[in-house]
């Protein structure tokens, strides 16, 4: 289990506990935000600034790069981080959170200046009581928020899963003692800052999931349909054996490969079953 499960849960999947979606958690986040307005620059801005420094120094000043990444990783866990989850876990989150709203992707806005303005293009969900205040944050919710039912949200998640997007949860306000879950995103490497920061620069704003993909070789027919679904480079073709190869150290446990396999050759198992992976988040 990741450190969240032990620090904020009961040793089980921490994000399945309803208290992390509760109104009192959101009020603590708001209090923290007001404190930062009065006493100094927002930590979100510090993280973004450090991320830019990391990008600049990785090649230009490599000796400074490791320390900058360490600084970012200390901050991200406290203020705004996420974790990869499976489709089944994402559907469970929909049952726990209320209200639910479609919102525009902040990563695409920051990265490309692109804003989704209709439901068919939106890949992010806002969860919980904070969505009632979206009008007070026009820069973030530039396209507004469209409130939807549990049934609509679940159907929408399943649709993006079929198209190959990774499900990630987003937390806010760990500085107040525990994470508040306020978002559920559907992401790709091309668009998502959290995924690209993690893979390209080692910035751990995004944690690996609780599970990892394993292969049953006798069931794999070598169709390789799973490979194109992996956003993390964990799957490659073993042409010699006509089987897929899974690098479990690169796997984030999203489950996209499992849902692509028509022969039941890929299974997700608990990451803690493997000594070399159980602390690799």
Specify the residue for token string 């928020």: 145
Residue 273, SS3 per DSSP: helix
Question: Is pLDDT of 34 > 70?
Answer: no
Question: Is pLDDT of 234 > 50?
Answer: yes
Beta strands 211-215; 206-207: pairing state: unpaired
For 61-70, 143-152, 221-230, which range has the lowest pLDDT when averaged over its residues? Answer: 61-70
Predicted local distance difference test score (pLDDT) of residue 163: 94
- Per-residue pLDDT tens over the stretch 170-193: 887 665 556 788 899 999 999 999
Q: Please give the domain boundaries of the chain with CATH numbers for all domains.
A: 3-207 (no CATH), 211-273 (3.30.70.20)
43 prior amide bond cis, ω within 30 = no
In terms of pLDDT, which residue wins out, 43 or 255? Answer: 255
The DSSP H or E segment spanning 156 is helix 150-162
In terms of pLDDT, which residue wins out, 24 or 94? Answer: 94
Predicted local distance difference test score (pLDDT) of residue 27: 66
The mean per-residue pLDDT over the stretch 138-147 comes to 86
User: 258 and 267 in contact (C-beta within 8 Å)?
Assistant: yes
- Per-residue pLDDT tens over the stretch 91-113: 999 998 889 999 999 889 888 98
Return phi, psi of residue 248, to 5°: -65, -25
CA 218 to chain centroid, in Å, comes to: 32
Question: Is pLDDT of 151 > 50?
Answer: yes
């Amino acid at each position: 289990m990741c450190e969240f499960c032990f620090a904020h849960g009961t040793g089980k999947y921490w994000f399945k506990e309803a208290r992390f979606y509760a109104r009192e958690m959101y009020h603590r986040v708001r209090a923290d935000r007001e404190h930062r307005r009065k006493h100094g620059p927002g930590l979100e801005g510090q993280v973004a600034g450090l991320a830019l420094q990391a990008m600049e120094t990785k090649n230009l000043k490599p000796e400074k790069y490791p320390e900058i990444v360490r600084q970012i990783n200390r901050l991200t866990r406290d203020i705004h981080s996420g974790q990869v989850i499976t489709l089944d876990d994402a559907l469970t989150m929909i049952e726990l959170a209320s209200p639910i709203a479609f919102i525009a992707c902040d990563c695409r806005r920051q990265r490309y200046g692109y804003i989704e303005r209709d439901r068919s293009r939106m890949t992010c969900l806002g969860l919980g009581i904070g969505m009632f205040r979206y009008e007070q944050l026009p820069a973030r919710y530039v396209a507004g928020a469209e409130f939807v039912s549990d049934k609509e949200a679940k159907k929408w998640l399943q649709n993006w899963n079929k198209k190959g997007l990774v499900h990630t949860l987003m937390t806010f306000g760990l500085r107040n003692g525990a994470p508040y879950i306020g978002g559920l995103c559907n992401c790709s490497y091309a668009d998502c800052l959290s995924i690209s920061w993690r893979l390209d620069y080692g910035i751990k704003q995004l944690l690996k999931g609780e599970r990892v993909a394993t292969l049953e070789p006798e069931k794999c027919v070598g169709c390789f349909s799973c490979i194109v679904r992996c956003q993390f480079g964990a799957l490659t073709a073993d042409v010699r054996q006509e089987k897929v190869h899974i690098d479990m150290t690169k796997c984030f446990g999203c489950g996209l490969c499992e849902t692509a396999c028509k022969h039941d050759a890929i299974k997700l198992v608990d990451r803690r079953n493997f000594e070399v992976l159980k602390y690799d988040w």
